[in-house]
Chains A and B, each alone.
Chain A
Amino acid sequence: MFLSIDINDRRAIYRQIADGIKALIASGQLREGQPLPAVRQVAADLGVNLNTIAAAYRDLQSEGLIIVKRGLGATVASRSTAQKGAQHSEDELRRPLRTALTELVLAGMPRGEILSLVSDELRSLLKGAKS
């Protein structure tokens, strides 16, 4: 299982890591109880600061998506734990979607194409096809 990082992406590396792991959990490629690599391993593989990876793991932990136990590493949390941990209002959940849609509209993409794009992304996410 791979996690991809784009150095030229505007998002910070820790954000990309957190988003990438989230996507893998959402698509079912990372299952409940599955261990994640240690912070040190990910940092060494990417050649980045330990704090960068620790921040990504902290974010995921605060959202209830992973469980970090000292000395035992991180594992994927159960969906129920994640749902309890997240406790987002509908508006909070809509906000990133709205931002992404705004970007697409501003990029000049027609309505039909946006709908098809969103539908494709959702389908591949739910199928677990996207890595």
Chain B
Amino acid sequence: MTQLQIVLLYLASIALRIPRIKERWIAPLLRGPEWFFDVAVAPDFLRGPGAAILRNYRWWLFIPWGIEGLTLVALWLKGHLSAANILMTVTVITLFTRFNYYAARIVTENRTRHFEHPEARQPTSNVALSLEPRTLSAYTDWRVEAGIILALSAAALWLAFLPATQDPAIERRLLSLMVIDVYAQGGLLLIKSGVIRSGGAAPVDNVEQYLAWRESLRRFTTGICDLVRLLFSLKPLLVVSLIVGGSARLAAIIGFGILSMVAVGLEWRSRLAYLNVASRTRPAKFPLLPAAQKARGPVGFWPSLPVLLLRTANGYALNLASTQVGIAGLYSAGFASLWMWLVR
């Protein structure tokens, strides 16, 4: 890749991240002047102590950008500023940005609670839950599943009947890519089913709106999961086309480019729809569970509670005894074994 192409690639990665940056920038103010994130505050809060809290929160959001900038400068100085290294840096920083946002949000909400509206301090004791069963099939779009199967089958058939190269090493790599892609599909499905399982009670005085918001968040997240699965399933086909070269290469680049743009547009549209519901929903405060009252630190072990994250006095604690943690551990171990088997 030329220097110009690398710069363009990086600029494209920034452009893709702009909507998310904007969303996090305005997240505390989403519900209007009487709310700061999920904390009820006085309408003039931002003219008082809220201004400094908001400023600190926004500065916090820049931490990943600072790390990214320093990493890229270091790579440039060492002469390793390749497209692969930029993509790797952007991927890792994107993941870190998410955790950084959660940390910033929890700390900011805890700071804001000192100025919480007195009436809102009391948690609701009357909660409601939906009796609608949530199953994977209810959140499955069979067109997406058909698309994934079609894309993976097409790549497999291409590999089997029309060898892209005469080099067995490259053939083996392509096969490895296929295997990893199928394994990744399984992982994304596990994430999707975890999202479907995640729920929560609603306050009785606002049950319909609150549950509609939870459902909207669930639909949005599972939709993104499907979109990522679909793009992932096209990757082997794209790589095979790139290796074959000629018109197949050009068609694959144009096709994948158009699909990526459509995916970004769809993601942004569904995000706006979700934010619209979220901005209209009044947050609720629920009482802490007995286990959470004793929780110390960000992790804990509660085998009897079927939850991944337990809300505590200072934020959330990861339940190491939850099924999801066990599955994630097994999946990671499986991935590591598969990787070692494929690269040996």
**A residues adjacent to B (C-beta < 8 A):** 1-8, 21, 24, 30, 35-38, 40-51, 73
Query: Does A8 lie within 8 Å of B125, measured CB to CB?
Result: yes
B212 on the A face (CB < 8 A): no
The answer to whether A37 and B134 touch across the interface, beta carbons within 8 angstroms, is yes
In the complex, A8 Cα to B197 Cα: how many Å? 27
B253 at the interface (CB under 8 A from A): no
Q: Which of B134, B199, B289 interacts with A48 by CB under 8 Å?
A: B289
Is there a chain A Cβ closer than 8 Å to B72's Cβ? no
Give A44 to B218 CA distance when docked, in angstroms. Answer: 15
Q: Is the C-beta of B204 less than 8 angstroms from some C-beta in chain A? A: yes
Instruction: Beyond A4-B204, A7-B126, list 14 extra A-B contacts (CB 8 Å).
Output: A1-B130, A1-B131, A1-B132, A2-B202, A4-B126, A36-B131, A37-B132, A37-B133, A40-B306, A41-B197, A44-B306, A45-B130, A48-B289, A49-B304
What are 16 of the A-B contact pairs (CB < 8 Å)?
A4-B126, A4-B207, A5-B201, A6-B127, A8-B125, A30-B131, A37-B130, A37-B131, A41-B197, A44-B306, A44-B307, A45-B130, A45-B200, A46-B129, A48-B305, A73-B133
List, in ascending order, chain A residues with CB within 8 A of B128's CB.
Answer: 2-5
CA distance A73 to B134 in the complex (A): 12
The answer to whether B50 has its CB under 8 Å from any CB of chain A is no
Q: How far is the CB of A121 from chain B (nearest CB, A)?
A: 18
Of all chain A residues, the one with the shortest Cβ separation from B133 is A37
Min CB gap A129→B, angstroms: 16
Tell whether A2 pairs with B133 under 8 Å between CB atoms, given A45-B200, A50-B306, A51-B304: no
Q: Which residues of B contact A45 (CB under 8 A)?
A: 129-130, 199-201
Mark B300-344 against chain A: 1 for CB-CB distance below 8 A, else 0.
Answer: 000011110011000000000000000000000000000000000
Q: How far is the CA of A46 from the CA of B131 in the complex (A)?
A: 12
| Cβ of A120 to closest chain B Cβ, rounded Å | 19
Tell me if B85 counts as interface (CB < 8 A to partner A).
Answer: no
Determine the residue in chain A with the shortest Cβ distance to B291: A47
Partner of B131, one of A3, A47, A49: A3
CA distance A41 to B127 in the complex (A): 15
Q: B129, A2: Cβ atoms under 8 Å?
A: yes
Contacts of B311 in A (CB 8 A): 47
Shortest A96–chain B CB gap in Å is 22
Decide: A5 near B197, CB < 8 A? Known: A44-B306, A47-B310.
no
Identity of the chain B residue whose Cβ is nearest the Cβ of A20 in the assembled complex: B131
Contact of A4 among B127, B199, B306 (CB under 8 A): B127
CA distance A4 to B198 in the complex (A): 19
B287 touches A (CB below 8 Å): yes
Q: Is the CB of B126 within 8 A of A50?
A: no
Kindly list chain A residues whose C-beta atoms are within 8 Å of the C-beta of B199. 41, 44-45
- Bound-state CA distance A7–B307 (Å) is 19
Instruction: Kindly provide the distance from the CB of B238 to the nearest chain A CB, expressed in whole angstroms.
Output: 38
| Chain A residue contacts of B132, Cβ below 8 A | 1, 37
What B residues does A5 contact at CB under 8 A?
Answer: 126-129, 201
Q: Is the CB of A41 within 8 A of B126?
A: no
Determine the distance from Cα of A47 to Cα of B211 in the docked complex, in whole angstroms.
Answer: 16
By a CB distance below 8 angstroms, the chain B residues around A43 are 305-306
Chain B positions within 8 Å of A47 at CB level: 200-201, 289, 305, 307, 310-311
Cα A50 to Cα B204 in complex, Å, equals 22
Q: How far is the CA of A46 from the CA of B304 in the complex (A)?
A: 13
Report the nearest B residue to A44, measured CB to CB.
Answer: B306
Question: How far is it, in angstroms, between the C-alpha of A128 and the C-alpha of B317 when the chains are bound?
Answer: 40
- Closest-CB distance, A17 to chain B (whole angstroms): 9
Q: Are B133 and A36 in contact (CB under 8 A)?
A: yes
**Smallest CB gap from B130: residue in A:** A2
Per the bound structure, the CA–CA distance linking A50 and B197 in Å amounts to 14
Once bound together, how far apart are the Cα atoms of A49 and B103, in whole Å?
Answer: 28
Q: Which of B125, B129, B204, B305 contacts A49 (CB 8 A)?
A: B305
Q: Given the complex, which residues of B lie within 8 Å of A6, measured CB to CB?
A: 125-127
The distance from the CB of B322 to the nearest CB of chain A, in whole angstroms, is: 9
- Give complex CA distance A3, B128 in Å: 5
* Chain A neighbourhood of B133, CB < 8 A: 35-38, 41, 73
A2 CB contacts on chain B under 8 angstroms? 128-131, 202, 207, 211
Residue numbers in A under 8 Å from B305 (CB-CB): 43, 47-49
